[in-house]
Amino acid sequence: MANKDVEYELFVKSVYQSILRIDGMEGLSVDHNVMIKGKSGCEHQIDVYFELRIAGEIQRFAIECKNYSKSIQIGKVRDFFGVVTDIGGIKGIMATKIGFQSGARLFGDFYRISLKEIRKPEEDDWNNRLRKIQFNVIMLHIKIKNIKINLDYDWIVKNFEYFDSEVLALLSSINEEIVLYFEDGEKDFDFRELEEKIPRKGKNVENLKYEFDFNKNFRFIDTNIGRVKVANIIVTYDEAPLSKEILIDSYHLTKAIFRDIQSGDMKFIKNL
């Protein structure tokens, strides 16, 4: 068997797996290249086989895949009908990429062989259909220019017996590594999270200031003399809108075109 034929069989298998998930069906199995013995005693090779539990009963399905570059003739459908009849108690489905000739369609209709066109999407499939959606997302970006940390020196004097303001320093000189703590010692936030806590003005403006006031809600920070209380933090920042264009192209989101030959219904099977 040519590799292209096997590729198509596996493609059809994956499409049916997607359809079953989308439809919420209880798929018991979806298998490739299954051998089933018929009533005659002959072994029949089935390209794709799956079972479903419907209303408490197991329903069996056999799919014959034809990776042809032209429409399927009646003889191919007739041969597959013979296989389905010999196995018995199984629903026959024939899948191809191009389509079926009129005689094949008539035969399939009469003997209840379901005929499907299953293939990769093409540009023309979106004729008279919405394919692309484009929209712009505007986000307000905060750029922090300066952070001023004011310690509560009155609190420090009351709580540290030996204190020299000339030698007091934060343990870290790198803003992102600075952590604020609650009074019970639990972490509040570090300065990497500071941007998220600054309210947006919704404007393109520079040199805005925002104060984190901790006179009532105490916060503490580590220094070279220990953990001390912070009076406030004043942040100077710029705010600017950033526009991002997002394009959704359903062509790239579509896994397969699935068309029922008898009804003419066509589905766009999405990548899952």
What's the pLDDT tens digit per position in 58-101? 889 999 999 999 999 999 999 999 999 999 999 999 999 999 99
Cα separation, 269 vs 272, in Å, equals: 9
The residue extents of the domains of the chain are 3-119, 136-245
Q: How confident is the model at residue 167 (pLDDT cuts 50, 70, 90)?
A: low
Cα angle value 173/178/181 (rounded, 5°): 145
pLDDT in the model for residue 242: 81
Cα separation, 242 vs 144, in Å, equals: 15
pLDDT in the model for residue 26: 58
Quote the strand ranges of the chain, DSSP E: 27-37, 43-54, 57-66, 91-96, 114-119, 132-151, 179-181, 187-190, 205-213, 219-223, 226-249, 254-260, 266-270
Using the predicted structure, report yes or no on whether residue 104 has a pLDDT greater than 60.
Answer: yes
CATH for 3-119, among 3.30.2310.20, 3.40.1350.10, 3.30.70.20, 3.40.190.10?
A: 3.40.1350.10
pLDDT in the model for residue 168: 67
Please say whether the beta carbons of 257 and 121 come within 8 A. yes
Query: Minimum mean pLDDT among 23-27, 45-49, 196-200, 201-205: which range?
Result: 23-27
> Among residues 189, 209, 65, 88, which one has the least CA distance to residue 147?
209
> Among residues 62, 72, 84, 64, which one has the least CA distance to residue 5?
64
Percent of the chain, pLDDT > 90? 56
pLDDT in the model for residue 164: 67
Q: pLDDT digit string (tens) for 183-198?
A: 899 999 888 888 888 8
